[in-house]
Structure 1
């Protein structure tokens, strides 16, 4: 066995680089996961907004057939896009649509929803 000289100390920072590396990897992983979640939530929101827009356009394009048939067409479009049509109502000649995704893909977040309005181009709002 080797004896230590008086005044010498063992390496005090032995293993510190491993701990700092683990902390850095955990921080980078956490940031990457948050980035992916933000991207997924943004994509879901855009899909719901697109469904609302297309549903409103479908209803407005079938307005001459009456509100019931026009809203039926909006429901058909939104069903095909995987969202739920909550309301379809008319304000003068404009179709007002509200849709919601069936559920949020992430726990703790509300399901995304969107509103859209479409009507004839030649009429002022």
Structure 2
């Protein structure tokens, strides 16, 4: 009986780990792909959030700049600014010379909303004034 015929039989068959490196490599590649996908998803969420915050800030400034034209005109200006930033204006309110807007960015699970307010700087009142210090003596 030759060596080949005995190796092909069931009783004399030896099990080896031949090819196990391929299985481990495929497993490692699959894990790396999942980690990479999670990283991309988190990165997309961060970019969406920053886009919404920037658009809300700019839209609030635009509305506050045009408050004297009326609330509808100021909010229309805020909507144009938000659309130029590839976001949508969810809420806009102008009370006096102060605007309060909310902008949203993204779709589906990556939707982010941000709120911003803008208006003129108020003069510091007595409670807000910076105390002055005199040297002791």
TM-score normalized with structure 2 length: 0.74
| Structure 2 residues not aligned, in runs of 5+ | 125-137
Aligned residue pairs total 118
Q: What secondary structure is seen at the aligned counterpart in 2 of 1:82?
A: coil
| Structure 1 residues not aligned, in runs of 5+ | none
Within 2, Cα distance between the matches of 1:123 and 1:98? 26
1:87-117 alpha-carbon deviations (Å, 9 max, x no partner): 111345321101223x51xx5x152221111
Q: How does 1:6-85 map to 2 (within 5 A)?
A: 10-85=14-89
Say if 2:44 and 2:110, in contact at 8 Å, map to a contact too: no
Spell out structure 1 runs of 4+ moving beyond 3 A. none
| Aligned match for 1:89, one of 89, 93, 97 | 93
